[in-house]
Chains A and B, each alone.
Chain A
Amino acid sequence: QQQVKQSPQSLIVQKGGISIINCAYENTAFDYFPWYQQFPGKGPALLIAIRPDVSEKKEGRFTISFNKSAKQFSLHIMDSQPGDSATYFCAASITGNTPLVFGKGTRLSVIA
């Protein structure tokens, strides 16, 4: 059973546009939701994370929106740039209890 479902698998966005990646989860005990960014040939790196006590968290051009009732969270990349082209993974865990469970990833391509 896939605990975190991520969509779309791939995404092409024009430079300056908004990239949106969505994730849904089943386990209502999850209380930590990070997003990781991975460039080719590198390991994933933490981009931004949120806990369910807030509905939105913004860091620069990156925003996480969280909908607890729908069990969904999403990553918005504003003013997308070619340098944002990477694979993005959402993840979830239960604090102090379980390791991170990752979605299957979204390959983002930002074209000029």
Chain B
Amino acid sequence: QSALTQPPSASGSPGQSITISCTGTSSDVGGYNSVSWYQQHPGKAPKLMIYEVTQRPSGVPDRFSGSKSGDTASLTVSGLQAEDEADYYCSSYTDSNNFYVFGTGTQVTVL
């Protein structure tokens, strides 16, 4: 089972919006509404930002939103802020040999 595919980097100016893609297959992203997104600042543990494709845990700003189309899930960050600069990872349940699979990760830079 290969990792889900994410772009290595994304960037935007404060106030702008960015969208990060996460591409899998029908065995994972495309087959189940079980996509999560995590934010990780340097030296810190990951933080859950989105689960079940579109759901936000309490405390996560509504600037963060998730969606899915076919085998590709997306995380959109609207009104980009300096504190959004971090690494972002998607994940999904998979019915292949593994159980869960993470994405390759995207480094977000706020210009």
Q: Is chain B a partner of chain A in the same complex?
A: no
